[in-house]
Amino acid sequence: MGHRPAAVIEALQAQLARGWTFGAPTEAEVRLASLVSDRMPAIEMLRLVNSGTEAAMSAVRLARAFTGRRKLIKFAGAYHGHADALLVEAGSGVATLGIPGTPGITPAAAQDTVVARYNNLSDVESAMARWPRQVAAVIVEPVAGNMGVVPPLAGFLAGLREMTRDSESLLIFDEVITGFRVARGGAQELYGVTPDLTCLGKVLGGGLPIGGYGGRREIMEQVAPAGPVYQAGTLSGNPLAVAAGLATLDALDDSIYRQLESVGARVAAELASAAAAAGVPLTVNRVGSMLTAFFAAGAITEYATAKQSDTAQFAAWFRSLLARGVSIPPSQFEAAFLSTAHDDDAITFLHSKLEESFTSLLASTTT
Ligand SMILES: *Cc1c(COP(=O)(O)O)cnc(C)c1O
C-alpha cells in the first residue's frame, strides 16, 4: 500500500492518543486474530509476537514439543529469521546434516536441522527415511522469497502435505512474506494446501514490528499459559503494531489483489522486453506482486540454480537503476515487492529507465 497509506496513519494516530503499551493483551489483538483466522481458516488460534524471526522460532519449538521429536527439515536458500536452529548453511545435496551458517552458532544448535533442496520431494523423502519418526516438522516458504522469488512447482506443496501427514510430522508454512500478499488468504489459499502451523509477519503489522504463529487448536493449546510450551514477550501484540495491522488488513480487499496482480504482470513484462531488447539474458520469476529478475538464462527452481546467476551483473544493474531513480532490492537473492502505490506514472517512469539500465551494462562490460 506504499510507505504512508492514509488509513494506517489515521489508525496509528488514534492509537497514540489511547496509549501504546499496557502489559496486557488488548481487544484489538483479538480483532486482528479473528481477521487472520477468517482469511486463513487453518489458523484456529493465533499467538502474536514481535517479528517473523520469533514466529518461526516459536513455531519450531511448538512442533518439537507437540510431536516429541527433534529433527527439522528446511530448504536450501530458505530464510526463516535468525534463530540459531534455522540459520543453517543452505548447503545443497540430499538431506545434509546441518552446518552452522554463521559464526556464533554451536554445532549442537544446528545438528537437528536437515537441509533439502527446494522443489525436490525426493530429498524430503530420503530425509524422512533416514530419520524415521524423528522429524518434528518441515518448514517451507510456500513461495520462496529469500533466494530470489522461486515459485513452488506443481505438486511440491501438496507432496509435502502428504509426506508430513504420513510420517506424523507437522507442516509449517512460513508465510511471513506471502501471507496477505499473494492472495487474501496467502499462499495456502492460492495453492489450496493446508499447513498445520503458519508463521506470519511483515504485512500483518502494516509496517510496524509484528509477527504471529498459529494453526490447529490442539497444537496451539500446547502454548503457555494454556499448555506447557513456554513463549512470551513483553511487547507482543503491541497496540501500535496491531492498529497498523488492522487498518492494513481491513484495506486489503479483492480489488487490491487484482490490482497487485496486474502491476506485477506489467512490471515482469517490462523487465523481460527491456532485457530482450538489450540482449541481456534474464529470467523473471513472479507470483502476484513479488518478483525477481535473475541474471541467468534458464529456469530457476531452487537455490543451486538461483546461485548460477551473474551477481556481478546484478550489482551493476542495481547501481545503474539507482542512479536513474529506481530503487530495487540490493541483492539477487531478494524479492522485489510491488504495491498499490505503483501507479501508471510509476510504471511509465520505470519503462523510461529500464532499457537504458540494461544497455548500460553491456557498454560497461565491453569497455
Ligand atoms: C523476513 C522473513 C522472516 C523474518 O522476519 P523478521 O521480522 O525479519 O524477523 C522469516 N521468514 C521469512 C520467509 C521472511 O521473509
SS3 content of the chain, % helix, strand, coil (to 5): 45, 15, 40
Is residue 277's pLDDT more than 50? yes
pLDDT tens-digit profile of 21-57?
Answer: 998 899 999 999 999 999 999 999 999 999 999 999 9
Q: How far is the CA of 304 from the centre of ligand 1 (A)?
A: 21
Q: How far is the CA of 54 from the centre of ligand 1 (A)?
A: 9
Q: What is the pLDDT of residue 214?
A: 98
| Ligand 1: residue whose CA is nearest its atom 14 | 176
Given a contact cutoff of 8 angstroms between Cβ atoms, the answer to whether 202 and 8 are in contact is no
* Pick from 245, 107, 261, 78: nearest CA to 175: 78
**74 belongs to the catalytic site:** no
Could you tell me the three cell numbers for 142? 510456500
Sign of the Cα pseudo-torsion (123, 144, 278, 366, in order) = negative
pLDDT (mean) for 61-74: 98
Q: Ligand 1 pocket test: pick from 177, 197, 203, 235 the residue with the most ligand atoms within 8 Å of its Cβ.
A: 177
Q: Ligand 1 pocket test: pick from 60, 146, 181 the residue with the most ligand atoms within 8 Å of its Cβ.
A: 146
Burial class (CB in 10 A: 0-12, 13-18, 19+), 358: buried
Phi/psi at 215 (nearest 5 deg)?
A: 165, -150
**79 belongs to the catalytic site:** yes
Sorted by where each starts, the structural domains of the chain and their CATH numbers stand as 6-251 (3.40.640.10), 254-366 (3.90.1150.10)
| Ligand 1: residue whose CA is nearest its atom 11 | 80
Q: How far is the CA of 212 from the centre of ligand 1 (A)?
A: 11
**Nearest ligand 1 atom to alpha carbon 78:** 13
Indicate the helix (H) or strand (E) that contains 119: none
Q: How far is the CA of 157 from the centre of ligand 1 (A)?
A: 20
**Nearest ligand 1 atom to alpha carbon 202:** 7
pLDDT tens-digit profile of 142-194?
Answer: 999 999 999 999 999 999 999 999 999 999 999 999 999 999 999 999 999 99
CA distance 58 to 24: 20
pLDDT band at 89 (very low <50, low <70, confident <90, very high): low
CA atoms within a 13 Å half-sphere pointing along the CA-CB vector of 242:
24
pTM: 0.96
Burial class (CB in 10 A: 0-12, 13-18, 19+), 162: middle
**174 belongs to the catalytic site:** yes
* Pick from 150, 189, 104: nearest CA to 287: 150
Q: What is the mean pLDDT of the chain?
A: 94
What does DSSP assign to residue 349?
H
Q: Ligand 1 pocket test: pick from 49, 79, 238, 334 the residue with the most ligand atoms within 8 Å of its Cβ.
A: 79
Residue of 71, 74, 202, 307 marked active site: 202
pLDDT (mean) for 6-13: 98
Q: How far is the CA of 84 from the centre of ligand 1 (A)?
A: 14
**Which residues face 116 on adjacent strands?**
75
* Pick from 78, 100, 104: nearest CA to 89: 100
| Ligand 1: residue whose CA is nearest its atom 8 | 52
Sign of the Cα pseudo-torsion (24, 29, 30, 33, in order) = negative
Given a contact cutoff of 8 angstroms between Cβ atoms, the answer to whether 263 and 347 are in contact is yes
Residues with CB under 6 A from ligand 1: 51-53, 56, 79-81, 141, 145-146, 174, 176-177, 201, 211
Q: What is the pLDDT of residue 106?
A: 86
Residue 141 CB coordination number (10 Å): 26
Given a contact cutoff of 8 angstroms between Cβ atoms, the answer to whether 35 and 246 are in contact is yes
**Which residues face 200 on adjacent strands?**
212
pLDDT band at 107 (very low <50, low <70, confident <90, very high): confident
Q: What is the pLDDT of residue 366?
A: 54
Could you tell me the three cell numbers for 161? 502435505
Phi/psi at 136 (nearest 5 deg)?
A: -75, -40
Could you tell me the three cell numbers for 67? 510431536
Q: How far is the CA of 146 from the centre of ligand 1 (A)?
A: 9
Phi/psi at 311 (nearest 5 deg)?
A: -70, -25
CA distance 221 to 218: 5
Residue of 74, 118, 123, 174 marked active site: 174
Strands laid side by side in the 290-294 sheet: 283-287, 290-294, 336-337
Could you tell me how many residues make up the chain? 367
Counting residues of the chain whose pLDDT is more than 70, the rounded percentage is 95
Is residue 100's pLDDT more than 70? no
The DSSP bridge pattern shows strands 96-97 and 45-49 to be unpaired
